[in-house]
Amino acid sequence: MNLTEAIYDRLVADSDLADMLAEYDNGPAIFTTDPAPANAVLPYIVSAGHVAVSAHDTKTTRGRQIWRDVRCYAPASGSALVIESIAERVRNLLHRHNLQISNGETWVAEASGPIAADEEDAYGRIVTIRLIIMEV
């Protein structure tokens, strides 16, 4: 399993998070493409691609340090309660959770944020995850 699949699987499996999101294609509205599908209904989550990647090799190992943004969106309703709840749940699910990926072992999993990323018609919050993944 690759990193995108591991993040998706972790988020989609949480029933509390699923209850906070709209439904899309018989599941919670969590997307691994950017932008989200045009017919997607808020609230939803987008996690697509790395923000940054750097080598994290040691004398005897090979690894990568990866930063990935998980962007959460909800309708601009006059209250940030919904979007804050979604983003905090995402942060809790990914902070210090070792994601299972093929040919790699998670050494560090940190989630920071959420930070505001509001748009005209939607409230947005970004949770950034930093992972150190060592090859096995």
Structural domain harbouring 129: 3-135
Q: What's the CATH number where 63 sits?
A: 3.30.2000.30
Query: pLDDT (tens digit, 9 = 90+) per residue, 23-63?
Result: 999 999 999 999 999 999 999 999 988 889 888 988 888 99
Supply the pTM of this predicted model: 0.92
Instruction: Find all residues with CB under 8 Å of 1, minimum gap 6, and list them.
Output: 9, 100, 101, 102
Whole-number Å distance between alpha carbons of 20 and 81: 11
Say yes or no to pLDDT of 12 above 90. Answer: yes
Say yes or no to pLDDT of 104 above 90. Answer: no
Across residues 82-96, what is the average pLDDT? 98
pLDDT (0 to 100) of residue 103: 83
Question: If 0-12 CB within 10 Å is exposed, 13-18 middle and 19+ buried, where does residue 119 land?
Answer: exposed
What are the angstrom distances between the C-alpha of 91 and each of 26, 65, 77, 135?
A: 24, 18, 22, 25
What is the residue whose two structure tokens read 């790395």? 50
Say yes or no to pLDDT of 10 above 90. Answer: yes
Average pLDDT, the chain: 94
109 falls in which pLDDT band (50, 70, 90)?
very high
What total number of domains does the chain contain?
1
pLDDT (0 to 100) of residue 58: 87
Across residues 94-101, what is the average pLDDT? 92
Say yes or no to pLDDT of 100 above 90. Answer: no
What are the angstrom distances between the C-alpha of 54 and each of 131, 133, 135?
A: 11, 11, 14
C-beta separation of 47 from 4 below 8 A: yes
